[in-house]
Amino acid sequence: MRPSYERQLAALEASYRELLLSALQGCAKGQWGLFGSYERVGLRDPAREELLELGSKIERLRHKCGIEPFQLHERFLQMGSRLSNTPGEPKLAQRWLDELT
C-alpha cells in the first residue's frame, strides 16, 4: 500500500472511531436513532449518516488497497440488524462502549 493511502486510511479510521465513541456515548445516555432501529417513527441520530458515509469511504479505500473490511464499520452495520428480543439502542450502545474503552 502506498504511504499516502496509509495516511489517508489511518486518518479516516481515527475519525470514524472518534465519531463512533461520541455517538455511542450519546446513545447510551438515551439519544435514540444511532442504529437505525427507529427510523420509521422519525428517530434518527445525525451521527448515523456521518458514520455510514465515512464507513463507506473507508471500505472503498480498503477494497482498493486489497485490505480486509473495516471491523468497526461492519459491527456498526450489524448493530442495526435487530431481532425482536434485542435490547434497546441505549443498552446496546453501552455494551459496545464498555468493549471499546
Cα–Cα dist 94/74, whole Å:
18
Number of Cβ within a 10 Å radius of residue 28: 19
Can you give the pLDDT at residue 40?
Answer: 65
The model carries a pTM of 0.84
Block means of pLDDT (10 residues each) for the chain, length 101 residues? Answer: 86 98 95 80 85 98 94 91 70 91 87
Interatomic CA distance for residues 30 and 53, integer angstroms: 23
pLDDT for 82 equals 65
Cα gap 28→21, rounded to integer Å: 10
